[in-house]
């Protein structure tokens, strides 16, 4: 039970302003909210999530990243996920966590959220909280009816252009916001529809000027 021992130890520690607990609580709130997201928006967790970190030079930062790897390596078999690390062209490091097949979607997102949140805690505990950009969870739409729009009496289905939604947790604002890529653009109208539901379930960012797009998400 190394995985949850770490979570328990984290809760027992007293960090300045409880920042770590705030992040963990917000991320774990998504696990219970996922049931309502599926019922009301036909959104199903894809099994994939990522922590996006701005890489910097220095041995202390390198050791911190190694600590994250060691923790995930020690936990991945027991809690049924795998992970990979990707450095993008903007010099952001991605810890991408991918769940193995589990009995329920709630188990899947719980295990992925635990791994991702704990990796974030390790980075924050070592003094690199400012390097964390966001935690990103990928959901898939399972019902095309969500995308039907009435236009002069005709229904237009644009599902083929929009298949996934990302819920992005901004570590700076401590809030989630929706991001729906649509080819080279984003669909703000659909994002606002999603906001109307998630704002009652999780800590959501209502200021759309802070809904920063993240280009070329690698999962």
Q: What is the DSSP string of 131-173?
A: GEEEEEEEEEE--GGGGEEEETTEEEE-GGG--EEEEEEETTT
Residues β-bridged to residue 6: none
Distance between CA atoms of residues 32 and 203, nearest Å: 13
Q: Is residue 20 part of a domain?
A: no
pLDDT > 70 fraction of the chain, expressed in percent and rounded:
79
The residue-averaged pLDDT of 170-182 equals 94
Contact assessment for residue 33 and residue 198, using Cβ atoms and an 8 Å cutoff: yes
Q: Is residue 19 part of a domain?
A: no
Q: Is residue 11 part of a domain?
A: no
* 11, HSE (Cβ side, Cα atoms, 13 Å): 6
Each residue's pLDDT tens digit, 74-108? 999 988 899 999 999 999 999 999 998 766 667 88
pLDDT band at 32 (very low <50, low <70, confident <90, very high): confident
Domain hosting 117: range is: 41-210
Number of structural domains the chain divides into? 1
Give the predicted TM-score (pTM) of the model: 0.83
Sign of the alpha-carbon dihedral angle for 62, 65, 70, 71: positive
Q: Is residue 152 part of a domain?
A: yes
Q: Is residue 136 part of a domain?
A: yes
pLDDT of residue 78: 86
Least confident of 11-15, 73-77, 162-166, 211-215: 11-15
Q: Is residue 157 part of a domain?
A: yes
Contact assessment for residue 198 and residue 178, using Cβ atoms and an 8 Å cutoff: yes
């Amino acid at each position: 039970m190394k995985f949850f021992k770490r979570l328990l130890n984290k809760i027992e520690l007293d960090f300045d302003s409880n920042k770590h607990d705030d992040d963990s609580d917000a991320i774990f709130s998504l696990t219970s909210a996922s049931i309502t997201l599926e019922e009301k928006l036909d959104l199903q967790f894809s099994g994939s999530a990522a922590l996006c970190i701005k890489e910097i030079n220095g041995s202390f930062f390198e050791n911190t990243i190694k600590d994250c790897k060691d923790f995930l390596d020690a936990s991945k078999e027991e809690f049924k996920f795998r992970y990979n690390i990707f450095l993008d062209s903007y010099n952001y490091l991605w810890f991408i966590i991918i769940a193995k097949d589990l009995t329920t979607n709630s188990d899947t997102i719980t295990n992925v959220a635990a791994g991702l949140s704990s990796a974030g805690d390790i980075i924050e505990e070592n003094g690199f909280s400012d390097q964390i950009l966001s935690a990103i969870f990928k959901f898939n739409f399972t019902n095309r009816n969500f995308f039907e729009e009435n236009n002069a009496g005709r229904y237009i289905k644009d599902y083929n252009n929009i298949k996934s939604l990302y819920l992005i947790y901004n570590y700076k604002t401590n809030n989630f916001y929706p991001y729906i890529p649509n080819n080279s653009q984003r669909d703000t109208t659909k994002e606002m529809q999603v906001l109307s539901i998630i704002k009652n379930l999780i800590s959501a960012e209502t200021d759309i000027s802070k809904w920063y797009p993240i280009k070329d998400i690698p999962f």
